[in-house]
Amino acid sequence: METGTSSVGNSGSSRNESYEAIKNGSWFNQFRNGCNPWMARYVYGLIFLIANLLAWAARDYGRRALTEVTKFKNCKGGANCLGTEGVLRVSLGCFLFYFVMFLSTLGTSKTHSSRDRWHSGWWSAKLIMWPALTIIPFLLPSTIIRLYGEIAHFGAGVFLLIQLISVISFITWLNECYQSQKDAERCHVHVMLLATTSYTVCIVGLILMYIWYAPDPSCLLNIFFITWTLFLIQLMTSIALHPKVNAGYLTPALMGLYVVFICWCAIRSEPVGESCNRKAAASDRTDWLTIISFVVALLAMVIATFSTGIDSQCFQFKKDKNNQGEEEEEEEEDGVPYGYGFFHFVFATGAMYFAMLLIGWNTHHPMKKWTIDVGWTSTWFGCWWLQSYSRAEDKRQVGHERLKCLGNDRKLCRF
């Protein structure tokens, strides 16, 4: 009996050692060793990228093929309707694939379990399931597709919310690492240099937006958006430097970069023909710069989805210190490297998000070739997201300091 138990323990330890070797190995070594969760995440990211390319091809070049299908011959809205429906159908197929994976891997906590093997392997079955789920939406009536298009607005919002929490969590972690007593003196110069560079980029970005998107005093809307962004950066900096918060310069500087980026994305989404938009995202002619911008935006969306999907720890609550050590040792031995269910859920909502970008957040909005996230709906959504992000960050800074204050001495709290 003892021999059997020891053999099982030895086999388990050997599997853990092999997994640890794969994890610490090179990127090529993770692929060479076959089915493992580190290799699987890249494959799922590649599938998501292919789905994005299929949706783009269906929008820009699939209209002729779709008109030959009897189901689309009576599509209201003509060519624009066909392009929009093509994007939504590909998006629905991608959503179904990742949602099935989400349901089948939710709650997986141990490696070498059946659900771990399903997530990391069974690629022959998935190569059949994925194309099948992509084809099924093209057999559905337009009514269901339009309903999915409305639901996708909310799903895309959930994706952006998850991404927002992930970004704030990363910046907070980075700031706390630099402010730790161990590295405070050594990293002081690096913090000041990074914060100064970030603020400089923010100022230069705002000046360029004033030049490109507010050339005349009559461009009141763009002037308001850019000025409001400047005000939000100042507000975040003031809150971070308040004596009761004392978060330093780095956090508001990095947050300012993200706020300026959101503002730029919102303003550049204004449709062509607006006199205040000298750098319109959609031009009458397609040049190499437009194509490069489209490709970069597409890759950035895939990378953002991938990085957010493996960042499930920012949604976990802190554990009690008494049990934290034992649980961490157990997780290191046979725990999954990232939350499989959360990973697939992010990709499922990401499928809705890329559909909204390709149709300009409007199922009735015509989109030109090689454009992404263009239209007044995209502009107003970006501005709303800018406001929501800034309010969330301000509340996070005050709330984080309140918790830290309560943990040290309740008498010192004056919030």
Domain ranges within the chain, ordered by starting residue: 26-412
Is the pLDDT confidence value at 257 over 80?
Answer: yes
Q: Coil, strand, or helix at residue 33?
A: coil
DSSP secondary structure letter of residue 110? B
**Judging by beta carbons within 10 Å of its beta carbon (0-12, 13-18, 19+), is residue 392 exposed, middle or buried?**
middle
As a whole number of angstroms, the distance between CA 210 and CA 277 comes to 10
Does the structure show a pLDDT above 80 at 106?
yes
Q: What is the pLDDT of residue 95?
A: 96
Q: What is the dihedral of CA 209, 210, 213, 214, to 10 degrees?
A: 170
Cα radius of gyration (the chain) = 24
Token output for 379: 């502009």
- Burial category of 109 from C-beta neighbours within 10 Å (exposed 0-12, middle 13-18, buried 19 and up): middle
Q: What is the pTM of this model?
A: 0.73
> Residue 96 has what pLDDT?
96
Average pLDDT rounded to a whole number, residues 156-175:
80
SS3 content of the chain, % helix, strand, coil (to 5): 75, 0, 25
pLDDT at residue 391, rounded to an integer:
54
Stretch 346-363: mean pLDDT: 85
Six-digit token pair at 298? 């597409």
Mean pLDDT, residues 183-198: 77
- Mean pLDDT (whole number) for 259-278: 70
CA dihedral sign, ordered 246, 248, 251, 257: positive
Q: In this predicted structure, which of 236-245, 259-268, 285-294 has the lowest mean pLDDT? A: 285-294
* Stronger pLDDT, 357 or 266, i.e. the higher one: 357
What per-residue confidence (pLDDT) applies to 157?
Answer: 83
The distance from CA 412 to its chain's CA centroid, rounded to whole angstroms, is: 38
Residue 317 has a pLDDT of 46
CA angle 313, 317, 320 (to 5 degrees): 120
Segment among 11-15, 206-210, 245-249 with least mean pLDDT:
11-15
Q: If residue 167 lies in a helix (H) or strand (E), which one and from where to where?
A: helix 142-179
Residue 405 pLDDT exceeds 50 = no
Is the pLDDT at 133 greater than 70? The verdict is yes
Which range has highest mean pLDDT (26-40, 84-98, 294-308, 364-378)? 84-98
Which residues neighbour 172 within 8 Å (Cβ) at sequence distance 6 or greater? 251, 396, 400
What distance, in Å, lies between the first and last C-alpha atoms of the chain?
Answer: 62
What residues pair up with 398 in beta bridges, in sequence order? none
Question: What does pLDDT average to over the chain?
Answer: 73
Q: What tokens does 231 get?
A: 């005000």
